[in-house]
Amino acid sequence: MKRKGLCLIMVLCMLAGCAQAGGGNGGAAAEAPAEEEQAGSGLTEEQSAGEDLSRDGLSEDNLPWEEAASTPYGKYPSLVTYTLGKMTGENNSNMPEGDTYENNVYTRYLREALNIQNEDVFEESEEQYTANVRMAIASRELPDVMVVEDRQTLVQLARKGMIADLSQAFEDCASDRLVEMYDSYEVSALDSAMVDGKLMALPEPSFVDGPNLLWLRKDWMDELGLEEPETVEDAIEIIRAFVEKDPGGNGEGNTIGLVCHGDLTGESGYNYEFQLDPVFSSFDAFPKQWVRDAEGNVAYGSIQPETKEALGYLRQLYEEGVLDENFMLRSMTNIAELVVSGQCGSFFGPWWAPNNPLMEARRENPDAQWKPYLLSTTENGKIRYYDQEASYKYVVVSADFEHPEIVFKMASVMFDKMRYEDTSNEGLAEYFQTNVDSTARPLSINIDYNDALYRCYEQLGAALNGSLKPEELQILEHSYYEKCAAYLEHPDTADAEEWAAYMSRIEACALLEEERLSVISPIFSGETETMAEKWSGLQEMEKEAYLRIISGEEELDYFDIFVEEWLEQGGAQITQEVMEAVSSF
């Protein structure tokens, strides 16, 4: 959405009588603060020295407070320290020894470019991060900046007046290229961050990632003389053989089957690791998504007959031991440990799975040969998958923080200047080459063009085949090029980083170029009035019913009872509201 478009939406919403959110102080320029203490960030004395610049004698390189607060790259005259609720990654996000979440390539670059420093009030990954966010909200003690992972929480914070209105911050501090990135999406993530006519978050757009791939231990397949799979049914028989014949030498009964997370499928169509979306889509089932049924009516995918069939199939796999019998108890971290240790040889994951967890698995066992497969989910060989919602992560700023514009300045530096303009940052190049996870950034999100994945794949391919000079690549692409080229020179002895770069950026992405892909775009990804009140409870009901059916605690026909209760407890009203919303598009 262009800046003018955002302004128009806000005006129209106010004219329509939208309720006013009680939130923060907008993006107005702040008064110059008093001298601030240096953040306890683990920086060296040399890094900490000389960064407070007096308001007197300002130069073009050291803009005054008002200009710094209203431009993408304006540097604050004095160090601005902000508290951060930090979402972390596994293995310290694979950062080099000595780097921390408060002192790394990204934080040092931001300190140099903008004179800002994060001070992390908590650093957690996965489920524990979500728990800390909930505690911060419950206590009404938010860090200055944090990521929330769903729109319901965003709306809650906005209407309680706990977060700042970022409308002006976007107008002033989003770089032109950052705006262009948001505009590259058919459905703007900025729209999903609007609450009552105000932009209440910096949203992460949902990239075109393609469907989840099945990652299998090819060396195990070769040992058992198994052919490569083409369908979900083929894959299940391979996984069954892994469990029963133990090609990894784990011992009888110790090889885990298909691993997955208890959430089963992506909440917003996002392709994350350890989900079973391809299994559901092979039954033409799309849980958690708003779809059109056979008659063309708006329907919630989780309560459709096709989903019942898919649950029956998973119930059978669970009973047979092909589906991990402990999947309901496992965290994402625990599942990754099974992969790294060699206890399991199969999981569904996106194209970037070689970066995490397979790079670590490769380090542990260089002989482990993981390979991706794109499985047909229809009789005619097509691969049907659900597209993603406009956004599923939101960076919010506390209403009490005096520099709400800081998040758009950070985004402009990290996702525009660092990535597309700075071609000589050796530290950043090293991060890309060693597959440092994106959670190393202070903002644990990513912003890029909608087709950034395919752009990179095409550029890398051109450089590798000699039709493009490597020096013409931007810094991210060039980093991957060096690793991919090294892998091709010595594939049998390639290190984990070289292997991961080639397997993700070339092997996996090549599968996503296939013409067999059939995308189902969302027909609704917003929030209705009744959703705001009842959706969370309905989601819990859904998850519990699914797990009880798969585990055998309830019979398959319990699905019909669940559907009836779901409709009675607000689902029917929500469906009606979604139908009305869709008809108004």
Mean pLDDT (whole number) for 332-343 = 95
Q: How far apart are CA 99 and CA 81, in angstroms?
A: 19
Alpha carbon distances (Å) from 80 to 23, 26, 75, 251, 575: 22, 18, 10, 56, 47
- pLDDT computed for residue 206 by the predictor: 81
- pLDDT computed for residue 90 by the predictor: 83
- pLDDT computed for residue 317 by the predictor: 98
Mean pLDDT (whole number) for 521-546 = 90
State the pLDDT confidence band at 1, using cuts at 50, 70 and 90.
Answer: low
- pLDDT computed for residue 495 by the predictor: 95
Closest CA to 262 of 575, 540, 21: 540
Give strand pairing partners of 223: none
- Amino acid found at 140: R
Q: Give the containing element (helix H, strand E) for 478.
A: helix 475-489
pLDDT greater than 50 at residue 306: yes
- Size of the chain in residues: 585
From 21-25, 492-496, 549-553, the region with the lowest mean pLDDT: 21-25
Span 428-478, pLDDT tens digits? 988 988 878 889 999 999 999 998 999 999 999 999 999 999 999 998 899
- pLDDT computed for residue 33 by the predictor: 33
Number of neighbours of residue 528 by Cβ within 10 angstroms: 19
- pLDDT computed for residue 521 by the predictor: 77
Intrachain domains 3-9+30-208+390-440 and 213-386 with the same fold: yes
Mean pLDDT (whole number) for 157-175 = 98
- pLDDT computed for residue 45 by the predictor: 43
- pLDDT computed for residue 270 by the predictor: 55
**Would you list the DSSP string of 32-63?**
PPPP-PPP-S---HHHHTT----STT--TTS-
State the pLDDT confidence band at 337, using cuts at 50, 70 and 90.
Answer: very high
Mean pLDDT (whole number) for 402-416 = 98
Using only C-alpha atoms, what is the Rg of the chain?
Answer: 24
pTM: 0.79
From 18-22, 315-319, 419-423, the region with the lowest mean pLDDT: 18-22
Mean pLDDT (whole number) for 548-560 = 98
- pLDDT computed for residue 3 by the predictor: 58
CA angle at 284 for the pair 280 and 289, rounded to the nearest 5°:
75
Fold of 3-9+30-208+390-440: D-Maltodextrin-Binding Protein; domain 2 (3.40.190)
Out of 3.40.710.10, 3.90.1300.10, 3.40.190.10, 2.170.130.10, the CATH code matching 213-386 is 3.40.190.10
From 59-68, 71-80, 240-249, 466-475, the region with the lowest mean pLDDT: 59-68
Mean pLDDT (whole number) for 202-208 = 87
Is the omega angle on the peptide bond into residue 357 within 30 degrees of 0, that is, cis? yes
Number of neighbours of residue 452 by Cβ within 10 angstroms: 18
**Quick one: how far is CA 360 from the chain centroid?**
20
Mean pLDDT (whole number) for 132-157 = 94
- Per the CB < 8 A criterion, the answer to whether 577 and 532 are in contact is no
CA angle at 271 for the pair 267 and 273, rounded to the nearest 5°:
100
- Per the CB < 8 A criterion, the answer to whether 75 and 84 are in contact is no
Closest CA to 114 of 71, 84, 167: 71
Structure tokens at 155: 């709306």
pLDDT greater than 50 at residue 136: yes
State the pLDDT confidence band at 14, using cuts at 50, 70 and 90.
Answer: very low
From 220-234, 318-332, 359-373, 525-539, the region with the lowest mean pLDDT: 525-539
pLDDT greater than 60 at residue 8: no
- pLDDT computed for residue 41 by the predictor: 38
| Buried-state track 139-154, b at ≥16 Cβ within 10 A, e below 16 | eeebbbbbbbbbbebb
- pLDDT computed for residue 37 by the predictor: 34
pLDDT greater than 70 at residue 419: yes
Percent of the chain with pLDDT over 70: 88
Mean pLDDT (whole number) for 180-185 = 92
Q: What are the structural domain ranges in the chain?
A: 3-9+30-208+390-440, 213-386, 452-515
Structure tokens at 525: 């990804």
- Per the CB < 8 A criterion, the answer to whether 292 and 298 are in contact is yes
Mean pLDDT (whole number) for 258-274 = 82
Mean pLDDT (whole number) for 310-325 = 98
State the pLDDT confidence band at 585, using cuts at 50, 70 and 90.
Answer: low
